[in-house]
Structure 1
């Protein structure tokens, strides 16, 4: 357990620098990000992606949110408009659920964004992603797909500090059209948090991330030039936070 040594070294403050996280400190890789450490080891990277896919099948991770409205709104849009961009979507486990809820929409109108090696593996191994746009990104930089109907980001922002999360949201907001929607799928922590919520908060702290209350989410969304239009909360606090341009 490296946390005592980490806080002895940096002081008892909230980790906010993604290149000086408890995880990279424990790995002896200060100056790297957790994802650079992870992707430098093929076995660790593969195991991480398998773990994320397995987590998607757990009942506690399912929100029950109905994505079928996307097809209804897409019918009012230009036929070449991208209908859903899954930002940082890994191997597409969440995007595939959205596509299944909208079977009338062709796959080329969906886009999966992640690091190049993740997308290469996903495209090679999963026929269900045939036809889907596979777009390599660094979501700290410019969002390459402009004016999509829906941008979707699931359980990514909790891996980052408030400042980093605001930057990621700003990149998406800059690409949105006036009628675009952003769906943020994250935990909305109670005050005080449940034991499980506190545990996950400690877990993502190792990446310089944090779980957030609804007030926290309103704060970072607002700083990014967005506004929350609806929040759907399910078991354990797992939520879909719908956002639009402010």
Structure 2
């Protein structure tokens, strides 16, 4: 039995702490399995013995108990006498209907395309190429199109993230003074929907690829926004809709390297009035020795797409090379910040 003094010594032992970090992948996979089995949803009505959970989840009883006790040890579940388990605040976020649910994100992290690509991080570091393309023999978007079951998990995870991020963005920035907001690469439209609901006099244009845009139409219709929002389809490397007072892009630029990101921004610049505002909503990588989450997400962009998260200085360089001046960076309570730009005066 390990006493408290031994635990305290282990907590201050650099070697022991490094082992904890090395083994972090084990917790990721354990969370993926618990999410895939739906364990947390089976605990919403109260604690249950692990054997009862095993029957509900179609799992091997002894093995499920070992999974649950490991996750209880890191605070996801709580184990009581008789091998009974209940939800903690962390575990509640693994339920499907929780505010800020991470159920689908945990399911996505362990899917073969994601998990195996991270196993080839070394290739990405050595070459600068996306590890997903090396792993799957096609780039990540094509792979998901070829594996619809994984695409469905990915889409669900991104939708859950978008809903939470939309609240954070609309609380951090006043969109009410824009008559028309164009959402470039706006996906299913959750951010633009939140903006229009918060600003009853505003109009919007959602712009994305045809197969995505058709989904957005249903999102706006269900919110009663059809009359105030137009859905347009196309390729943002070629052209984007004109006549906007604001052009927003959430989690678009980080999917692309400098050359492609510049082309997307220039597409916007060509149609933007001199008085329009650019709002790029992205993670901003923090200063040295800080922001582990942002820097881990940056590695994920390398693994998935050969792309990157950027520092504030890198955003300034990117905007300047695309015909914009950087006005400022506004943080939100989510990991995202709002990078504000305006068209630079013609030379």
C-alpha displacement at 1:138, in angstroms?
Answer: 1.7
Residues of 2 paired with 1:12 and 1:123: CA distance? 43
Residues of 2 paired with 1:45 and 1:135: CA distance? 23
Q: Match for residue 69 of structure 1?
A: 176
C-alpha displacement at 1:61, in angstroms?
Answer: 7.8
C-alpha displacement at 1:60, in angstroms?
Answer: 10
Q: Match for residue 156 of structure 2?
A: 50
The answer on whether the counterparts of 1:56 and 1:62 sit within 8 Å (CA) in structure 2 is: no
CA offsets 1:183-212 (integer angstroms, 9 cap, x no match): 111111112141111210111112111111
Q: Match for residue 79 of structure 1?
A: none
Return 5+ residue gaps in structure 1 as ranges: 16-20, 75-82
C-alpha displacement at 1:119, in angstroms?
Answer: 1.6
Q: CA RMSD, aligned part only?
A: 2.4
Q: Match for residue 231 of structure 2?
A: 134
Alignment of 1:148-167 (within 5 A): 148-167=244-263
Higher relative contact order (CA 8 A, sep 6+): 1
Q: Match for residue 38 of structure 1?
A: 144
Alignment of 1:86-97 (within 5 A): 86-97=183-194
- Between 209-218 and 41-50, the greater mean CA deviation after superposition: 41-50
SS at match of 1:100: helix
Residues of 1 paired with 2:148 and 2:122: CA distance? 30
- Change over 3 Å in CA distance of 1:238–1:4 after alignment to 2: closer
Residues of 1 paired with 2:176 and 2:206: CA distance? 19
- Change over 3 Å in CA distance of 1:191–1:14 after alignment to 2: farther
Match of 2:137 among 20, 28, 38: 28
CA offsets 1:80-137 (integer angstroms, 9 cap, x no match): xxx01111111011101110121123xxx31111111112223246522523211112
Q: Match for residue 78 of structure 1?
A: none
- Change over 3 Å in CA distance of 1:11–1:238 after alignment to 2: closer
TM-score for the superposition, normalised by structure 1: 0.80
Q: Match for residue 301 of structure 2?
A: 204
Residues of 2 paired with 1:2 and 1:51: CA distance? 18
- Change over 3 Å in CA distance of 1:226–1:68 after alignment to 2: closer
Runs of 4+ in 1 over 4 A off after TM superposition: 2-8
Residues of 1 paired with 2:167 and 2:315: CA distance? 19
Residues of 2 paired with 1:87 and 1:68: CA distance? 16
SS at match of 1:153: strand
The answer on whether the counterparts of 2:165 and 2:334 sit within 8 Å (CA) in structure 1 is: no
The answer on whether the counterparts of 2:163 and 2:191 sit within 8 Å (CA) in structure 1 is: no
The answer on whether the counterparts of 2:172 and 2:331 sit within 8 Å (CA) in structure 1 is: no
The answer to which structure has the higher helix fraction is: 2
Match of 2:275 among 151, 166, 179: 179
TM-score for the superposition, normalised by structure 2: 0.58
- Change over 3 Å in CA distance of 1:215–1:173 after alignment to 2: same
Match of 2:341 among 222, 229, 243: 243
- Between 47-56 and 125-134, the greater mean CA deviation after superposition: 125-134
Return 5+ residue gaps in structure 2 as ranges: 1-115
Q: Match for residue 28 of structure 2?
A: none
What is the total number of aligned residue pairs between the two structures? 223
